[in-house]
Amino acid sequence: ELKVEQNPLFLSMQEGKNYTIYCNYSTTSDRLYWYRQDPGKSLESLFVLLSNGAVKQEGRLMASLDTKARLSTLHITAAVHDLSATYFCAVNYGGSQGNLIFGKGTKLSVKP
Amino acid sequence: KAGVTQTPRYLIKTRGQQVTLSCSPISGHRSVSWYQQTPGQGLQFLFEYFSETQRNKGNFPGRFSGRQFSNSRSEMNVSTLELGDSALYLCASSQGDYSGNTIYFGEGSWLTVV
């Protein structure tokens, strides 16, 4: 059974600081996804990582994938309050694109 | 390009009743997946439909069922509702054959069982 573990689950940061969220998964998977969820809202796609060594960046967020270590990271650079949200990683399971196994999420709070 | 549309957005049901939720995927997408989100269990996969066929099913009781129509729209049904079924139900849309990378989610249906 595929398991996806994120850490930390809660993260309180000061504006301007850097931090990394980690996502470990237990078995081989085709690809890895990062999503953002604001309170009471749906999931917003941030990144899709397709291969070993993949790195993607959007604004202050950068995601990377190491398939050998079964590890993805989401790095936050110079955090701002608008980044406060819950971040989820997810991997495909069962051989089909639509079957995602999610981590428990990292609730990020950026304080001035 | 229209996004993933879910209806209804909010609903309140009584224990023992049944509920049907609807999802219209992005035009051209053939895969629709359903997820349940609760504070305790997080995001859990319910099932995926691709070209009207159920392709995968999560670990949920048989009270949870779904179907997909020829236009790719999907419905999920929960019968004999229990208090624990109160959750946000999310629908996800994708091409389903890995030709596209992103999986898009709808705004969700908030179900409260009383």
- What pLDDT band is residue B99 in, cutting at 50, 70 and 90? low
pLDDT band per the 50, 70, 90 thresholds, residue B2: confident
- Compute CA A68 distance to the chain's CA centroid, rounded to the nearest angstrom: 17
Kindly list the residues from chain A whose CB atom is less than 8 angstroms away from the CB atom of residue B97.
97
Predicted local confidence at residue A41, as pLDDT: 92
Query: What single-letter amino acid sits at A17?
Result: K
Instruction: Please tell me which of the candidates A30, A98, A101 has its beta carbon nearest to residue B48.
Output: A98
CA A29, CA A26: separation in Å to the nearest integer? 9
CB contact under 8 A, A102 and B95: no
Amino acid at the residue A82 = D
pLDDT of A52 reads 84
Render pLDDT for B54-92 as a digit per residue (tens, 0 to 9): 999 999 999 999 999 999 999 999 999 999 999 999 999
Residue of B nearest to A96 (CA): B96
Q: Is the pLDDT of residue B10 over 90?
A: yes
**Block mean pLDDT (10 aa), chain A, length 112:** 94 95 89 95 94 92 95 97 97 83 97 90
The pLDDT value recorded for residue B100 is 65
Could you check whether the bond before residue B8 is cis, i.e. omega within 30 degrees of 0?
Answer: yes
Mutation test of the interface with chain A: which of B21, B32, B41, B45, choosing the one with the most A Cβ atoms within 10 A?
A: B45
**Distance from C-alpha of A63 to C-alpha of A79, rounded to nearest angstrom:** 15
Instruction: Tell me which of B43, B46, B89 to substitute to probe the interface with A (most A C-beta atoms closer than 10 Å).
Output: B43
Q: What integer pLDDT is reported at residue B1 of this predicted model?
A: 60
* Rounded-to-integer distance, Cα A107 and Cα A61, Å: 15
B90 CB-contact burial (10 Å; exposed 0-12 / middle 13-18 / buried 19+): buried
Interface residue ranges in chain B relative to chain A, Cβ cutoff 8 Å = 31-33, 35, 42-45, 48, 50, 55-56, 90, 92, 94-98, 101-108
Please indicate whether, in this complex, the C-beta atoms of B45 and A48 are within 8 angstroms of each other: no
Give me the pLDDT at residue B98, please.
72
**B107: nearest CA partner in chain A:** A42
